[in-house]
Amino acid sequence: MVTATKKEDVYASLLLTDTYLPGALVLAHSLRDAGTTKKLAILVTPDTVSTEVIAQLKTVYDYVIYVDRIRNGKPANLFLMNRPDLHSAFTKINLWKQTQFRKIVYIDADVVAYRAVDELFNLPHAFSAAPDIGWPDCFNTGVMALTPNMGDYYAMIAMAERGISFDGADQGLLNMHFGNTYNRLSFTYNVTPSAHYQYVPAYRHFQSSINMVHFIGSDKPWKQGRESTSDAGPFDEMTGRWWAVYDRHYRNEAGHAPSIVQHFVKGEYNPTTRYVVPTGEPNGQQFPTASQEEHRQGNQDHVYHSGDDHVHHESQDHIHQEEHTSTEPKVTDESGEAYTETLLPGTGWDAQRSSPPTNSGPEAANFPRTHYEMSQDTSHFQAPERYPSPPKNMWYQVPGEREQPKSVFPWENNAPRPTRVFAENPLAPVTPAPKSPAIRTAQSPGGTAWNSFNQSNAWDEIPQINRYVDSMQRHRRSRSQILAASPGRSTSGERQEEPSEERRGSIKVTDFPTEDDRPSLPVTPAPVRRQQFWANADEDGQQLPAAEGVPAQAEWDPAAQLQKLAKQQSEVLLEKLGASGAGQTQESISVDGKEIPHRPLPFGSEDVRSPTYVAPSPPVVSPRPIKPNPAEKILAEAPELVTGQTTPRTVESRSPSVSTTATIAVPSYQGPGPMFEKGEDYLTQDTPAQPTEEDLDVLQT
């Protein structure tokens, strides 16, 4: 009768390199010795594990399963924990592919079991693991109870292919995959001692319940050697348990232990003292010190000696000896009898297969001499008569001026002339405006390339930008003008006048100092204010044409002019009153030989007058409005007399109840007038008023 094959349970371990062989064997023995009923399996990567080692595994493990090595292509994170040797730890993922098994209890090769933990096979969870002491929210991947399945396998393979692992090895990857969905095992299933830190009270308290001990880190018991542990303590006690299992099965004293196992255990392989015959010494001079030193360090890890008695009992080793006899260096033992030193392929480090073993000796260990004495020569150093002269043909050709690369494309030589014309101003010159004298090129000594750059701003050079800024300002002005304009209103013509293209000077208000003004060092010069601009001159330094009817700049002293005007007005008035009584006059008034034209009051405002308002005289004339001068008195009484005069401005009162019209002198301050709109940049004139010293005092306090 055929029964449906029930899937098996197995303990499984992993062997990626020969060097972990003692660990894998001790683990298997520890489980068997503890009486497990389960089978033992081990995953092996055949490309990095020698056949001799595999043969040893087969003596203890029920199944040796060959798997593909999964190498981390992005091993950078491995260096975070200083374990570049774990580059192929992703191979552990192959456990989930072993679906021929119902449940796998995976155990690292650096674990010794105190008892058989068969109860882990009865866990209902798909994945269980114990906390890691480095970061206890994570689980340690040295002991895991898992149910193989291809879903997890493919998910983790995908991560491995992308190098997704926070430590670069399997523990980082598995923790990222399972997160906190794992079933947390007791720490007693994976006690990870460290030589540096022990929670001794806890160890004493839980000691009897320890199930398995895991020697994490690069210092494995078999790599450290038996002598490394001496002082009593939790770590040494646990290490002692590992050695106890090892000794039970592989102690050299037993006489029949396979040397290949001892070969990977530091200090265990003790052939008789031997002396290396230095190749350069024909008389076979011996260097006992070096040899003894080598043995003390257990340096024989990578050299397999077949000259010992027991080796010849091992048929495998014997075969190996035969294979390599011809190429091996000669060594002699104490008796002088030559034997062959064999580098057993796979048992030592094979550079083509793996990174160097962490415990490997220095590269120069096999030099003819490894021990050197200080010089005993007491004579002084004598310099040689002459030292060899330096070679004469050593000079460096300083590259000359770099040549322009040859043109490759046709348009480099036959570049078409730019023909684009802007519709807005078809006559505008396309070429940049002539350089202003202020725009100069830096004169660095000898720097011809540097001179080819001009030090000006594009917005000063390119007329299109200038025009654009100008149109913006024009737009603003016209807006405020429209809002403020009312029919018949007399406003200052100068302000409303559209500034013509030519008259508007450059918007540039700063310039760089000339070469004479600045230090010779090629520092970035600080900008200076352009005097020409502030003097209301245009780019070429030409004075703006004087406005008609307005005195020349030089003649213009506003205070004096106002004084004069006020005086004149009163004189004219008195004269008129005396001559023809109170009446309108259309005669023009002249000031300083210049005629002031008549301008009518706005329509409808001729007869309106305020009963209460007394027009103040210009502050510059009289700062005391309480005591108006005679002329003002007359003006208040007969406003119609002054119609047509430019300087006093007619202002409409906006109050509906008291509609007034009075002549108000132009105020002396430069603030926004009635045409001002909130949010507008108000430009009363091109040159902003400079704050006085007093103003500055106020502003700066």
Ligand X SMILES: O=c1ccn([C@@H]2O[C@H](COP(=O)(O)OP(=O)(O)O[C@H]3O[C@H](CO)[C@@H](O)[C@H](O)[C@H]3O)[C@@H](O)[C@H]2O)c(=O)[nH]1
Catalog residues that contact ligand X under the rule CB under 6 A.
13-17, 19-20, 85-86, 89, 108-110, 140-142, 167, 169-171, 216-217
Under rule CB under 5 A, residue 170 binds Mn ion: no
Nearer to ligand X, 222 or 243 (CB): 222
d(CA 481, CA 677): 10
Nearer to ligand X, 171 or 456 (CB): 171
Tokens of 332: 């002699």
Nearer to Mn ion, 171 or 456 (CB): 171
- The single-letter DSSP state of residue 433 is P
> Shortest approach of ligand X to residue 150 CB, angstroms?
22
> Shortest approach of Mn ion to residue 217 CB, angstroms?
8
> Shortest approach of Mn ion to residue 97 CB, angstroms?
21
Integer CA distances (angstroms), 622 to 185, 281, 626, 645, 648, in order: 101, 122, 10, 20, 15
User: Of ligand X, Mn ion, none, which one sits near residue 85, judging by CB under 5 to 8 A according to partner kind?
Assistant: ligand X
Nearer to ligand X, 16 or 117 (CB): 16
Length of the chain: 701
Local structure of 565: helix, strand or coil: helix
Residue 201, judged by CB atoms within 10 A of its CB (0-12, 13-18, 19+), counts as exposed
Tokens of 575: 């004269």
Q: Taking CA 643 as the corner, what is the angle to CA 642 and CA 645, rounded to the nearest 5 degrees?
A: 75
Under rule CB under 5 A, residue 193 binds Mn ion: no
Residue 107, judged by CB atoms within 10 A of its CB (0-12, 13-18, 19+), counts as buried
Nearer to ligand X, 89 or 615 (CB): 89
Under rule CB under 5 A, residue 110 binds Mn ion: yes
User: Of Mn ion, ligand X, none, which one sits near residue 239, judging by CB under 5 to 8 A according to partner kind?
Assistant: none
> Shortest approach of ligand X to residue 169 CB, angstroms?
3
> Shortest approach of ligand X to residue 16 CB, angstroms?
4
DSSP helix, strand, coil percent of the chain (3-state; round to 5): 35, 10, 55
CA 431 from centroid of its chain's CA atoms: 44
User: Of Mn ion, ligand X, none, which one sits near residue 642, judging by CB under 5 to 8 A according to partner kind?
Assistant: none
> Shortest approach of ligand X to residue 115 CB, angstroms?
20
CA 14 from centroid of its chain's CA atoms: 41
d(CA 510, CA 521): 21
Query: Tokens 């494995």 identify what position?
Result: 220
User: Of ligand X, Mn ion, none, which one sits near residue 665, judging by CB under 5 to 8 A according to partner kind?
Assistant: none
Name which of 412, 447, 418, 414 is nearest 432 in CA terms. Answer: 418
Under rule CB under 5 A, residue 539 binds Mn ion: no
Quick note: the x/- pattern for Mn ion over 142-161, rule CB under 5 A, is x-------------------
User: Of ligand X, Mn ion, none, which one sits near residue 147, judging by CB under 5 to 8 A according to partner kind?
Assistant: none
Nearer to ligand X, 22 or 616 (CB): 22
User: Of Mn ion, ligand X, none, which one sits near residue 156, judging by CB under 5 to 8 A according to partner kind?
Assistant: none
User: Of ligand X, Mn ion, none, which one sits near residue 268, judging by CB under 5 to 8 A according to partner kind?
Assistant: none
d(CA 371, CA 564): 115
Nearer to ligand X, 16 or 565 (CB): 16
> Shortest approach of ligand X to residue 318 CB, angstroms?
27
> Shortest approach of Mn ion to residue 213 CB, angstroms?
11
Nearer to Mn ion, 140 or 347 (CB): 140
Under rule CB under 5 A, residue 85 binds Mn ion: no
Q: Could you say which of 9, 18, 52, 108 contacts Mn ion (CB under 5 A)?
A: 108
Q: Taking CA 251 as the corner, what is the angle to CA 250 and CA 252, rounded to the nearest 5 degrees?
A: 110
Q: Taking CA 64 as the corner, what is the angle to CA 62 and CA 70, rounded to the nearest 5 degrees?
A: 145
Name which of 268, 198, 204, 229 is nearest 26 in CA terms. Answer: 268
User: Of ligand X, Mn ion, none, which one sits near residue 539, judging by CB under 5 to 8 A according to partner kind?
Assistant: none
Nearer to Mn ion, 108 or 152 (CB): 108
Contact 249, 29 (CB under 8 A): yes
Under rule CB under 5 A, residue 221 binds Mn ion: no
Query: Tokens 């000896």 identify what position?
Result: 321
User: Of Mn ion, ligand X, none, which one sits near residue 152, judging by CB under 5 to 8 A according to partner kind?
Assistant: none
Tokens of 352: 């083509």
Local structure of 534: helix, strand or coil: helix
User: Of ligand X, Mn ion, none, which one sits near residue 170, judging by CB under 5 to 8 A according to partner kind?
Assistant: ligand X
User: Of Mn ion, ligand X, none, which one sits near residue 650, judging by CB under 5 to 8 A according to partner kind?
Assistant: none
- What DSSP string describes 370-392? ---PPP---SPP---S-PPPPPT
d(CA 193, CA 214): 7
Under rule CB under 5 A, residue 132 binds Mn ion: no
Interface with Mn ion (CB under 5 A): 108, 110, 142
